[in-house]
């Protein structure tokens, strides 16, 4: 994990143009020894565009005025991301609609069709 401080826009007035209050946190997922292979894969998938092809996640925090609070924010966000990667999503079990559910759906479709048909102009025989 490495941190780099960058110029940040946002609150801080003229001070923000002179100091590097933003934090760019880089975490090398592939080089980490405390994460298992499936967790690494889930973590990279969760990171999305924040991860590059080398397996490095980059988190930028620049919403606060102080460097210290931005640093805490970036570390907190990384911790939450790692925590989410530890939970394996449940596999979805495919199910079929019941016979009565199919009948209800078709009955609703017929009723709706009749309502729409009744809105039209009357024919010659009416």
Tell me what pLDDT residue 7 has: 84
Read off the pLDDT band of 116 (50, 70, 90): very high
The whole-model pTM stands at 0.67
Domain ranges of the chain: 2-85
- The CATH architecture annotation of domain 2-85 reads 2-Layer Sandwich (3.30)
The DSSP string of the chain is -EEEEE---SSSGGGGGTS--EEEEEEETTT-SSS-HHHHHHHHHHHGGGB-TTSEEEEEE-SSSSHHHHHHHHHHHHHHHHHHHTSPPPPPPP----HHHHHHHHHHHHHHHHHHHHTS---TT-
Taking only the tens place, the pLDDT of each residue in 2-24 is: 898 888 776 666 776 778 888 99
Tell me what pLDDT residue 98 has: 96
């Amino acid at each position: 994990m490495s941190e780099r401080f960058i110029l940040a826009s946002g609150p801080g007035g003229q001070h923000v143009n002179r100091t590097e209050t933003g934090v760019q946190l880089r975490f090398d997922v592939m080089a980490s020894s405390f994460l298992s292979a499936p967790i690494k894969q889930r973590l990279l998938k969760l990171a999305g565009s924040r991860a590059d092809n080398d397996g490095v996640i980059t988190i930028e925090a620049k919403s606060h005025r102080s460097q210290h609070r931005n640093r805490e924010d970036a570390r907190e966000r990384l911790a939450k991301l790692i925590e989410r990667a530890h939970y394996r999503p449940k596999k979805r079990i495919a199910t079929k609609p019941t016979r009565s559910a199919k009948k209800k759906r078709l009955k609703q479709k017929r009723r709706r069709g009749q309502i729409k048909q009744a809105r039209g102009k009357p024919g010659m025989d009416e």
